[in-house]
Amino acid sequence: MSSCGSTKYGKGVAKKVEMPFEAEDYVDNSTYVYSIQSTRGTGSKSAIKSATLTKAKNELSAKVRSQIISNTTVNQDGEDGADFSESFKATITDNVNKIVESTVLIKSQWLTYGKSISGKEEFEYWGVYRVKNK
C-alpha cells in the first residue's frame, strides 16, 4: 500500500482517506459536540478553509438539533387543541443557530499534494471544530 497525503492507495482496491486527527480524541460528550471535516482543492486557501468551516457548521447544526429534540419532551397539543409545533420548531432553530455561531476551531492541518493537472497547487485542509452544549 502506498500513500499520498491523507490518501492511501492499495493495489486493486479503493482508496482510503486517513484523517490527520483521531476521531476517538474528539467524541461528543455532555459538554462539547465535535466535527472533523476536510476540503481538498486548488486556488484560494481561504476559500478551502471557509468551505471546511461550512461543512463543520452543517454537521454541528444537525448534531445539536438532534440533541435538543431528544432532550425535550413536549406535548405539542395545547389545552384548546391548538398546535404550537411551528413556534416550537422556530425556537429550536433559533437555539441551534446561536449555538453553531459559537463554533471554535480546535486543531487544523494543511496538506499539500503538489500541482494538479491544470498546474495549480492542490491543498487539503483538515479542521476539528466544536461547540459547547447548552
Q: Which cell numbers in the block locate residue 6?
A: 491523507
The answer to whether residues 40 and 49 touch, using CB atoms and an 8 Å cutoff, is no
Question: Residue 95: what pLDDT?
Answer: 83
pTM of the model: 0.74
Over the stretch 38-65, which tens digit does the pLDDT of each residue have?
999 998 999 999 999 999 999 999 999 8
Residue 72 dihedral angles phi and psi, to the nearest 5°: -115, 115
CA distance 129 to 112: 21
Q: Crossing angle, helix 45-71 and helix 85-100, to 10 degrees?
A: 140
Instruction: Give the pLDDT band (50/70/90) at residue 1.
Output: very low
Residue among 65, 61, 66, 85 nearest 75 (CA): 85
